[in-house]
Amino acid sequence: MQSENPPFAGLLKGPVSRLRRMFASPGPTLVPQGGAVDYWRFGMAFAGCGIKAGDVVMNTLSYHLTPGGFMLDSGLRSLGCVVIPAGTGQTDLQVKVASSLKATGYAGTPSFLRTLLLHALDANVPLHFEVAFATAEMLPESLRAELEGFGIRVLQGYATADLGVLAYECAEKNGMHLQPECIVEILDLETGKPAEPGQPGHVVGTTFDADYPLLRFATGDISALAPSAPCSCGRTAPKLKGLLGRVGDAIKVKGMFVRGSEIEQVMKRFPAVARFQAVVTRAEHQDHLNYVVELQPGASVDTGQLANALRDTVKVRGEVSIGTVAANAPRIDDRRVWK
Ligand SMILES: [Zn+2]
């Protein structure tokens, strides 16, 4: 609709002049920023992370075309923090700036925080980070542990370029509390009806923003609501259990959901595997799952052992065969034809 009638398909209420900023992200999608001070509602998420007024916080999400940088910036400013708009890249310079400006807070991807910390260690530059808000990518517990080894408290938030923040961790680090100003629902992947707590489903969000209302906006992410239980932090908002994968990356094989991310988890434990693809076919009304695995030059792997490890995690039996896999091949190739 936007490409036929740019910029906002005639859906913007009132003239463009009422907006504060406009972005092009993700990809060709045009996104307006309305007038509210903390337009994407990040203040609560940062507060949950222990960031407070007067903190000097380095913001390393991009300020260029995408709203990420401004999302974090406006949330931090709403709390009264002093923001260093570092953006992406220039690791060497960022380390020096964070050190001289004595930043105690970090906001951005956990992988870039790791890059900064290791670079500072190498260059023998002292950093003063005490707390980090991780977002925009997965935060594996192994990475969190490594970052916390530097004496930094690391909590994460879940946001999208369209909806802003949807959920954030409290000090319990056990699931993410829903941000109550965005209505988050988890919809069953097959029926589209609200999924029971504990059951995975598609995350959709609703905001009644006057400039950019979104109704059941589909994020493409899969998550599950944690069964309701009081949280020791005192918040009563329900929790998301974390991100479980992407819609489209999860398919049903032999009645079970198979996710590319789960397969990848297992493959990573086998260093001999260079690339892989799970190929799903169907014959005689039976699903068949075959993992095609391309090995590192000169490496070998016990295919039986790999198949067992995959079955333990993926919960569906499949065969492993050695072959070649294209560099950009999707993790799952569903070749089933349904008639
Ligand atoms: Zn809590």
Kind and range of the H or E run holding 88: none
Domain final position from 221, 246, 271: 246
Kind and range of the H or E run holding 105: strand 105-108
Question: Contact at 8 Å (CB) between 290 and 306?
Answer: no
Write 243-247 long-range contacts (CB < 8 A, 24+). 243/138, 243/158, 244/200, 245/221, 246/220, 246/221, 246/222, 247/189, 247/202, 247/218, 247/220, 247/221, 247/222
CATH number of the domain residue 297 falls in: 3.30.300.30
Residues in the chain: 339
Cα(183) to centroid of ligand 1, in Å?
Answer: 18
Q: What is the pLDDT of residue 327?
A: 87
pTM of this prediction?
0.77
Cα(176) to centroid of ligand 1, in Å?
Answer: 8
Q: Does residue 238 fall inside a structural domain?
A: yes
Question: Which among 334, 332, 322 has a CA at the least distance from the CA of 274?
Answer: 322
Domain final position from 199, 216, 246: 246
For residues 225 and 267, membership in a common domain is answered with no
Q: What is the pLDDT of residue 139?
A: 87
Q: Does residue 8 fall inside a structural domain?
A: no
Q: What sign does the dihedral 42-48-51-53 (CA atoms) show? A: positive
Question: Contact at 8 Å (CB) between 293 and 273?
Answer: yes
Q: Which domain holds residue 196?
A: 16-246
**From residue 294, how far is each of 4, 88, 113, 236, 300 by CA, in Å?**
43, 33, 32, 48, 10
Q: Which two tokens stand for residue 6?
A: 């740019």
Cα(48) to centroid of ligand 1, in Å?
Answer: 8
Backbone angles phi, psi at 48, to 5 degrees: -60, -25
Q: Does residue 38 fall inside a structural domain?
A: yes
For residues 28 and 107, membership in a common domain is answered with yes
For residues 99 and 175, membership in a common domain is answered with yes
Cα(282) to centroid of ligand 1, in Å?
Answer: 45
Task: Give residues whose Cβ lies within 5 Å of ion ligand 1.
Answer: 170, 172, 231, 233, 235
d(CA 112, CA 88): 9
Number of other CB atoms surrounding residue 293 within 10 Å: 23
Domain final position from 225, 246, 267: 246
Q: How many domains does the chain have?
A: 2
For residues 82 and 228, membership in a common domain is answered with yes
Each residue's pLDDT, cut to its tens digit, for the chain (339 residues) gives 998 999 999 988 889 999 999 998 766 789 999 999 999 999 999 999 999 999 999 999 999 998 999 999 999 999 999 999 999 989 999 999 999 999 999 999 998 999 999 999 999 999 999 999 999 887 888 889 999 999 999 999 999 988 999 999 999 999 999 999 999 999 998 889 999 999 999 999 999 988 889 999 999 889 999 988 889 999 999 999 988 877 877 777 877 778 888 899 899 999 999 999 999 998 877 889 999 999 999 999 999 999 999 999 888 899 999 999 998 888 999 898 765
Cα(172) to centroid of ligand 1, in Å?
Answer: 6
Cα(71) to centroid of ligand 1, in Å?
Answer: 23
- Buried/exposed code over 28-67 (b: 16+ C-beta within 10 A; e: otherwise): eeebbbbeeebbbbbbbbbbbbebeeebbbbbbbbbeebb
Cα(169) to centroid of ligand 1, in Å?
Answer: 7
Q: Does residue 2 fall inside a structural domain?
A: no
* Residue 291 β-bridge partners: 278, 320
Cα(194) to centroid of ligand 1, in Å?
Answer: 23
Write 168-175 long-range contacts (CB < 8 A, 24+). 168/44, 168/45, 168/48, 168/49, 169/48, 169/49, 170/48, 170/231, 170/233, 170/235, 171/48, 171/50, 171/233, 172/231, 172/232, 172/233, 173/144, 174/239, 175/226, 175/239, 175/240, 175/241, 175/242
Q: What is the pLDDT of residue 262?
A: 87
Give me the half-sphere count of Cα atoms (radius 13 Å) on the Cβ side of residue 11: 17
Number of other CB atoms surrounding residue 261 within 10 Å: 15
Query: Identity (one letter) of the amino acid at 25?
Result: S
Q: Does residue 339 fall inside a structural domain?
A: no
C-alpha 151, offset from chain centre: 24
Kind and range of the H or E run holding 303: helix 303-314
